[in-house]
């Protein structure tokens, strides 16, 4: 059975969250690692990803989110843009 759009988005969000954590030299929790690797262990980490992005200082934000050399950074930038359109940061 093919994954649903929601399942695809949950997994992609976990992958982006893992990317942000790794880019900062932080450890990726096991449940997030499992989510990045399989549709069998999906986790909703939208709030954690948004909090992680919001906590970045401007230099780190530029390095992680706006890195033109990184496909993950482009995906993250697009995710962040869409997130802010639907759930503006407080």
pLDDT at 10 > cutoff 80: yes
Supply angle C-alpha 26, 28, 29, rounded to 5.
130
pLDDT-derived band at 89 (thresholds 50, 70, 90) equals low
The total domain count for the chain is 1
Q: Give me the helix-helix angle, 58-65 and 5-23, nearest 10°.
A: 130
Phi, psi of 27, deg, nearest 5: -75, 140
The whole domain housing 39 covers 5-86
Look at residue 72 and give its three-state secondary structure: helix
pLDDT at 13 > cutoff 70: yes
Distance CA 66, CA 74 (A): 7
pLDDT-derived band at 11 (thresholds 50, 70, 90) equals very high
Specify the pLDDT at position 61.
95
Q: What is the mean pLDDT of residues 47-73?
A: 94
Distance CA 23, CA 64 (A): 7
pLDDT one-digit tens code per residue, 23-57: 999 999 999 999 999 999 899 999 999 999 999 99
């Amino acid at each position: 059975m093919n994954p649903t759009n929601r399942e695809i988005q949950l997994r992609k969000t976990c992958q982006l969250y893992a990317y942000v954590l790794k880019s900062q030299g932080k450890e990726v929790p096991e449940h997030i690692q499992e989510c990045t690797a399989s549709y069998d262990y999906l986790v909703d980490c939208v709030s954690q990803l948004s909090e992680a992005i919001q906590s970045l200082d401007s230099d780190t934000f530029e390095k992680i989110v706006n890195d033109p050399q990184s496909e993950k950074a482009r995906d993250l930038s697009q995710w962040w843009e869409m997130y802010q359109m639907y759930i503006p940061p407080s």
